[in-house]
Amino acid sequence: MTLLKSEIKVLNFSSRSSTLVLPEASCEEKYSPDMWTLCVHPQGWIYFHSCALKVVTNQDVRDPGICELVTRSTANYPLPDLDDQMEVQLLVSTDAGQQGMASLFLVINHKHCVASYDLREVKDENVHLLDPNTLNRRRRLYWNYLWNHPSHVPTPTRAIPDASDALTWYFTDNLISGSRSLAPFSKTECEDLSKVLRQMSESCNDSSVAKTVFLAWLLREVCSFRDSEHYGQYTQKASQALREARKHAPGHSKRRPPPWVMPIVHLVINLFFFGIPSTYYAHVKSSSEYRGRLANVQQNWEKYIERLVREYSHFLLVSTVLLSATVGLLAIPEIHEPARVSATISSLASLGSIIVGVFSIWRHQTNTRTADSFTYMHNAQRNYLGLYGHAMLLSLPPVLLVWAIITFTVSIVAYAVQGFSGVDPTHSSSAWVVIGIFVVLLAAVFAALYTFSIIWKFKHKAWRIQHWKALWNRRRTHSTNAILPKP
């Protein structure tokens, strides 16, 4: 900031280093006489404060026109009705067809740390009448105002205790709830912020403007989070029900399918997609949950991409090897038509798995920002079939690979069956041996698939047997006691 010597003869600085007190001058010299204080925000911008008028403005009152306009507008507002430690912020708006006009923007009460557009709400005798939710909203307005205008007032005495209390609760909630915590700050962030608060409590920071900005930012975030959680409005039961409803609220697409479509979709998933999309549906659903922290969103998004890339890489390896084997089978000159058709379908399915997998890996690895995750989940939830449709697309590489393996197996069996049509008896014997081995391996494969599909589920059959056995023993005991004579 540069000031001409002809404009200012003497410079006086207040006790707060970022506040420059302008000397007595006239509006013609671009300064109001003994009225306005130029204040500098730590980020470098300036605003003006008048102790006499109890007014703060972001407009440059060094301009004689704006200075006169702001001064005249104070006559239209009941400034004498302001209590101690109260002030107003004025916003100057200009119209091309009319003269500039200054209007009231916000009323601030530094004593109770509240701000409102209504003077009556923030007067000393009315603050205690505000309900908790409204009081939290007024505090959010105040801290947002103080974050932008920190240089002309000392740090409120309640700032550090309020911030410490909020961080203590967020730290406790992280310990209790773990990854399910909805607190806006993680456990590590709470520890770091608490260390900064302890440093702010030292006497060397009593006149620090940066301290005021930091506390105003922190408490503004606290109030914003409380407002999003309906602070002070619901009972414990109603609040928990609201959180659950918000957590499990389905994404709505612009064109919802008819009710009879989803049963068909589930049938296709279980029959033709082998139930694989269900796994990807759960993965996408868990990754799309927002728990109040952008850091968690980024972390979930990175894990989501890492898992997809890892799985698709494995599928690509198997599909490539299978494609080579299928091409080798097709190169046999005496292969019959059933085997040839099955091998051709297998090669096409392998190619489809490779193409979709490579493209998916490329697209997911090039969009790793948090903003990309919001766009991705928004579009996935709002397509015609919702997350189920997106899960079906994500499962195409493994599904096509499974179909490629099935058709390749069919082609191998068809090629082995060709031996039954030969004249040489040894060909028939070899074909029977191959078919027998195939049946044994097929049974082993089905047993393994069945075992690993239910091994992570509770077996209710044994529980039911024990339940009926205990019930039968209880009845027998009751019948025996009824038959025995009483002593």
86 and 120 Cβ atoms separated by less than 8 Å? no
Greatest mean pLDDT range, 22-36, 174-188, 289-303 = 174-188
Per-residue pLDDT band at 27 (split at 50, 70, 90): very low
Mean of the pLDDT values across residues 394-408? Answer: 95
Question: Long-range pairs for 31-39 at CB < 8 Å and ≥24 separation?
Answer: 31/7, 31/61, 31/62, 31/67, 32/61, 32/67, 32/71, 35/71, 36/61, 36/67, 37/152, 39/149, 39/151, 39/152
**What is the predicted pLDDT for the residue at 30?**
41
Q: Which of 38-47, 299-308, 346-355, 356-365 has the lowest mean pLDDT?
A: 299-308
Say how far apart CA 2 and CA 20 lie, in whole Å.
12
400 and 264 Cβ atoms separated by less than 8 Å? no
The 3 state secondary structure assigned to the chain is: CCCCCCCCCCCEECCCCCEEECCCCCHHHCCCCCCCEEEECCCCCEEEEECCCCEEECCCCCCHHHHHHHHHHHHHCCHHHCCCCEEEEEEEECCCCCCCEEEEEEEEECCCCEEECCHHHHCCCCHHHCCHHHHHHHHHHHHHHHHHCCCCCCCCCCHHHHHHHHHHHHHHHHHHHHHHCCCCCCHHHHHHHHHHHHHHCCHHHCCCHHHHHHHHHHHHHHHHHHHHCCCCCCCHHHHHHHHHHHHCCCCCCCCCCCCCHHHHHHHHHHHCCCCHHHHHHHHHHHHCCCCCCHHHHHHHHHHHHHHHHHHHHHHHHHHHHHHHHHHHHHCCCCCCHHHHHHHHHHHHHHHHHHHHHHHHHHHHHCCCCHHHHHHHHHHHHCCCCHHHHHHHHHCHHHHHHHHHHHHHHHHHHHHHHHHHHCCCHHHHHHHHHHHHHHHHHHHHHHHHHHHHHHCCCCCHHHHHHHHHHHHHHHHHHHHHHHHCCCC
Radius of gyration of the chain measured on its C-alpha atoms? 37
Pick the more confident residue, 78 or 44: 44
Q: Which of 77, 79, 80, 149 lies closest to 110 in space, CA to CA?
A: 149
pLDDT at 464 over 90: no
Pairing label, strands 55-57, 86-93: parallel
357 and 395 Cβ atoms separated by less than 8 Å? no
Q: Which residue has the tokens 């008896």?
A: 425
Q: Which of 62, 86, 61, 89 lies closest to 74 in space, CA to CA?
A: 89
CA–chain centroid gap for 205, Å, is 35
pLDDT at 195 over 70: yes
What is the tens place of the pLDDT at every residue in 417-453?
876 665 556 667 777 888 888 889 888 988 888 888 7
Greatest mean pLDDT range, 34-38, 66-70, 331-335, 482-486 = 331-335
**What is the predicted pLDDT for the residue at 471?**
62
pTM: 0.63
307-309-313-316 Cα dihedral, nearest 10 degrees: 110
Torsion-angle region of residue 85: left (phi > 0), alpha (psi -120 to 50) or beta?
left
Q: Which of 101-105, 328-332, 406-410, 459-463 has the lowest mean pLDDT?
A: 459-463
pLDDT at 461 over 70: no
Per-residue pLDDT band at 12 (split at 50, 70, 90): very low
DSSP lists the bridge partners of residue 55 as 50, 88
Pairing label, strands 46-50, 37-40: antiparallel
pLDDT at 51 over 50: yes
Say how far apart CA 200 and CA 175 lie, in whole Å.
25
Q: Which of 141-150, 182-191, 456-465 has the lowest mean pLDDT?
A: 456-465
Q: What sign results for the dihedral spanned by CA atoms 464, 466, 469, 470?
A: negative
Say how far apart CA 62 and CA 46 lie, in whole Å.
12
**What is the predicted pLDDT for the residue at 139?**
96
**What is the predicted pLDDT for the residue at 254?**
52
**What is the predicted pLDDT for the residue at 18?**
44
Mean of the pLDDT values across residues 202-229? Answer: 92
pLDDT at 485 over 90: no
Say how far apart CA 108 and CA 122 lie, in whole Å.
7
Per-residue pLDDT band at 408 (split at 50, 70, 90): very high
The per-residue pLDDT of the chain, averaged, comes to 81
**What is the predicted pLDDT for the residue at 249?**
58
Residues near 334 by Cβ (< 8 Å), separated by ≥ 6?
418
**In the chain, domain spans:** 12-155+206-228, 262-407
pLDDT at 1 over 60: no
DSSP lists the bridge partners of residue 155 as none
What is the tens place of the pLDDT at every residue in 69-100?
777 777 777 777 888 889 998 876 655 344 55
**What is the predicted pLDDT for the residue at 318?**
95
**What is the predicted pLDDT for the residue at 462?**
53
Q: Which of 37-41, 85-89, 296-300, 312-316 has the lowest mean pLDDT?
A: 296-300
What is the tens place of the pLDDT at every residue in 238-271?
888 887 777 655 555 456 778 888 889 999 999 9
